[in-house]
């Protein structure tokens, strides 16, 4: 029997928690990642010409950005494409997916809007579950954590799998598309549209999740009015959460083989790297210029691409860090 409702999940969770299965056998890893980006590649110079930047293009180039990827499709379409791609490349049995987590940073990503005001209740996660025949997946939306959406989903999915004895797989997807013509710069970062799907499996020895921490500082909830305070709070809070997450699994900065960043400016990463005492050579920064900040998807896109380029080796300890409006900081440690 699979789970089709929260109620059943709750029942199974209690059952699972009473089982004698030890945590060593209950490891959760990430077995597959696929993503799609907005189809239009627009240079920062062109974005500036279109009035879509606040800072000069030359300055953003210095900060490591060269272009943004803009989508003409909806976030839902991109989400569908990313999940379809993952299901296609892995050949995983769709009915073996026990949970589907759908993340998006903006409210528009969490409703299939029609002229009827009540269409706010039309949820894309349910539509996706139906259209892609994930018939046994319990569906959840993860919202209001900004660019943390996908990392928070992965953390929730891991907990779901660990708490449900017979659950095997969970699928997380994030999709964000900013409205056409809107600004593409937020706090000195260039923003792209895209979607990313992440498959988690129990007893998977790839990309095992070793530790996760999230810090929410509600004082900074007003991301527009408190832009400066957020910028100032970003670095010390980031430093602390990285330190604490590493300490959770008795690791030091020197144990980290690779940082899979959120694609904010290289300048910002240079400062943070100094704070967390990890060398620049460990930062997988190749995608910052190529695709800019794909909202919630960066860390996972970078994990996939870093693995594909042969940069990662079995047993490597990987550090993922991201920040999302809300205001949320999150850090995860994986073992590749």
Partner 1 sequence: MAHTVLVTGATGMIGQALVPLLARRNDVGAIFALTHASEYLGSSCKVTPVRGDVTAGPALGIAPESSREILDRTDVIVHAAANTRFSASLDEARTVNLEGTKNLLAFASHCPRLKAFAALSTVHVAGKRTGTICEEDLDHTAGFVNSYEQSKYETELLLRERMSALPISVLRLSTVLGSSTTGEVRRMAAIHHALRLYYNSLAPMIPGKPDSLVDLIAAEYAAAAVEHFAAEYFQAGRTFHICCGENALTLVHLLQLTREAFLRYRPAWRKRAIEMPAIVDLPTFELFVRSVEEVGDNILRSSVAIIKHFVPQLGYPKIFRDVECTRLLEAKGLLKPSVLEFYPQVVCWLVESGWGEIRTLAGGAGA
CB 62, min distance to partner 1, A: 8
Are 16 and 165 in contact by the 8 Å Cβ rule? The answer is yes
CB 227, min distance to partner 1, A: 7
Nearer to partner 1, 85 or 227 (CB): 227
CA dist 240 and 232 (Å) reads: 14
Nearer to partner 1, 1 or 224 (CB): 224
CB 213, min distance to partner 1, A: 14
Strand pairing report for 40-43 and 256-261:
unpaired
CA dist 176 and 193 (Å) reads: 6
Nearer to partner 1, 58 or 120 (CB): 58
Nearer to partner 1, 125 or 148 (CB): 148
CB 216, min distance to partner 1, A: 9
CB 264, min distance to partner 1, A: 12
The residue to which tokens 């809070």 are assigned: 237
Nearer to partner 1, 185 or 298 (CB): 185
Report the 3 state secondary structure along 283-332. ECCHHHHHHCECCCCHHHHHHHHHHHCCCCCCCCEEEEEEEECCCEEEEE
Query: Interface residues with partner 1 (CB under 8 A)?
Result: 55, 59, 62-63, 188, 217, 219-220, 227-229, 231-237, 239-240, 267-268, 270-271, 274-275
Nearer to partner 1, 179 or 218 (CB): 218
CA dist 17 and 185 (Å) reads: 45
Angle at 328 between CA 138 and CA 306, to 5 degrees: 75
CB 281, min distance to partner 1, A: 17
Alpha carbon distances (Å) from 176 to 35, 39, 111, 151, 235: 12, 13, 12, 14, 25
Side-chain half-sphere CA neighbours of 215 within 13 A? 20
The residues, ordered by sequence, that sit 6+ positions from 240 with a Cβ below 8 Å of its Cβ are 215
CA dist 239 and 268 (Å) reads: 12
CB 236, min distance to partner 1, A: 4
CB 285, min distance to partner 1, A: 16
Nearer to partner 1, 159 or 270 (CB): 270
CB 256, min distance to partner 1, A: 19
Nearer to partner 1, 3 or 234 (CB): 234
Nearer to partner 1, 128 or 246 (CB): 246
């Amino acid at each position: 029997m699979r789970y089709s409702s929260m109620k059943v999940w709750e029942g199974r969770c209690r059952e699972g928690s009473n089982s004698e299965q030890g945590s060593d056998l209950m490891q959760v890893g990430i077995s597959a990642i696929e993503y799609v980006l907005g189809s239009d590649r627009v240079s920062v110079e062109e974005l500036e010409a279109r009035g879509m930047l606040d800072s000069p293009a030359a300055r953003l180039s210095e900060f490591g950005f060269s272009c943004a990827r803009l989508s003409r499709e909806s976030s839902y379409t991109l989400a569908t494409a990313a999940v379809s791609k993952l299901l296609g490349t892995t050949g995983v049995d769709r009915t073996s997916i026990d949970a589907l987590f759908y993340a998006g940073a903006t409210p528009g990503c969490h409703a299939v809007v029609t002229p009827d005001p009540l269409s706010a209740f039309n949820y894309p996660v349910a539509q996706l579950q139906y259209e892609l025949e994930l018939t046994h997946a319990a569906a959840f939306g993860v919202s209001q954590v900004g660019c943390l959406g996908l990392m928070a989903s992965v953390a929730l999915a891991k907990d779901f799998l660990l708490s449900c004895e017979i659950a095997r797989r969970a699928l997380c997807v994030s999709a964000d598309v900013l409205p056409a013509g809107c600004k593409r710069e937020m706090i000195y970062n260039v923003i792209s549209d895209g979607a990313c799907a992440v498959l988690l499996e129990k007893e998977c020895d790839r990309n095992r999740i070793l530790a996760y921490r999230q810090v929410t500082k509600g004082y900074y909830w007003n991301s527009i009015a408190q832009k400066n305070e957020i910028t100032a709070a970003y670095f010390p809070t980031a430093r602390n959460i990285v330190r604490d997450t590493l300490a959770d699994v008795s690791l030091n900065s020197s144990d980290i083989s690779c940082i899979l960043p959120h694609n904010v400016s290289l300048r910002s990463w240079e400062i943070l790297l100094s704070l967390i005492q990890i060398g620049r050579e460990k930062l997988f920064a190749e995608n910052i210029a190529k695709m800019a900040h794909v909202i919630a998807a960066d860390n996972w896109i970078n994990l996939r691409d870093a693995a594909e380029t042969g940069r990662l080796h079995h047993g490597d300890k990987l550090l993922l860090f991201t920040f999302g409006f809300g205001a949320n900081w999150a850090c995860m440690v994986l073992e590749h």
